[in-house]
Structure 1
């Protein structure tokens, strides 16, 4: 363990009251919610660092990866991990398969896409969370690293996500998965991509995934007001960072109206896969995630929705230092278990 990691983890073991005193003196309250003390401490420290909007994408990726490595828990030893690649439309995509070590026979599957605004992130971003899902839900999880912008702008990430899901279905036996019982899931940009995959399969007249796991998803890149304003400056995702992501991901602003960019704009959501939608209370994306869950419900789609009121965006990568984040991730994994098994 590095000295920096040791210091961060030692500080975050301090009592809530002390952490609050070190983070402005009073709990952060927005929209009737109180931010978790450890997350507030991280927010204050994060605000002291240069925003990724001041960096080039390569530096932003490296800086984010280094920061997240200080916060994440160790992956579960009960899960076997195998590196592989998926044949994508632009070439091989790095992937990682997680399978419970005590599994016998094929399992339900989940193709997972990491967060990062389609600009940052990699297989390590949600490594621990994918292992947790595989363990708790007793399923095989395929973590896929899709192409990133600005080197690969829209629709590269969408094409990769759709191809990865279809590849998993076609290679289910090799992956230890049950064909027809494979879901898609992800957080933030990964949630967005999962929602689009579910819609694209319907538009193509295919059966589609068994589940769509949407964790604080981007569902409308043009969304204004509400939590986009009230949580505009909350660590680690700000409204400015969302704008920066959009500027790098999209070829032009008009693309935000495309349903493959903003799945909320699809008028007919009927017949889509059952959904688990989880949002965070201190997140600019909170309201659009909740609105998409409601729109799915109105279309007759079975939906499990929950807002983790005390947490912020990217809590799936904070399981090593924020107990509330770890508990929230455990609940999500249990939801997946109920949905796929």
Structure 2
């Protein structure tokens, strides 16, 4: 059952500032990041687990590429267990802590999609939706705006018109005003605290033939899981993480050579615009999101109850 309808999602776009206010409804987690994007809610809904009961484990809310470090906030959390995906992050955890129980787990997007019903006719899907790289309160980004516009202009006809999905922090900023002045339709999936975030995001995505990711992020995996082709737009992006000093448990290279190769392979596999999803793309997304670890509602309930 959808947590939000297509009509409600579209109505939300009429007032992005209101949409992007924090929303803590259905939050119950002791480790608060579990609630990000509604993932703890969707996992519990799928399992018919009480929403008011917290998940006694760390539930990663995105797809990590780092395999040599772990986040200090996760390492220092009181949770004794880590629900692990992708498979290679277990290496970093094993080297960082002997106190955490590591549990193979499927990305919450797989549980979220089982609760989602597409309300938009596939035959009406039009053009593409661009997921811009986004800053956070502790990380700034810089990229060539003109280069972005040029790359969008050079997209093949089947990927037009182009809608741009912006991050909640970019609502009301110069970036939004610039994009609107260029004639783009601007949308947003809301604030990360909103438990309806992912289903709203899915409604926005399913209106388009292709998702375009500017920079590599979780949208790649979520797009393929929901059956929408994905295109990686290569753009020079400078991430300034100076405000994130010591966010990881140690100062070292975050990615091993093997992990770097995985990242470059992902970029290559999704580097060509296409209206179809290939078997190779499905397989690599299933591996990163650890689809094989997905449980039935009954078995997931048992797992959550035993944490």
Higher relative contact order, structure no. (Cα contacts within 8 Å, ≥ 6 residues apart) = 2
What's the TM-score, normalizing by structure 2?
0.28
Higher strand residue share: 1
What's the TM-score, normalizing by structure 1?
0.26
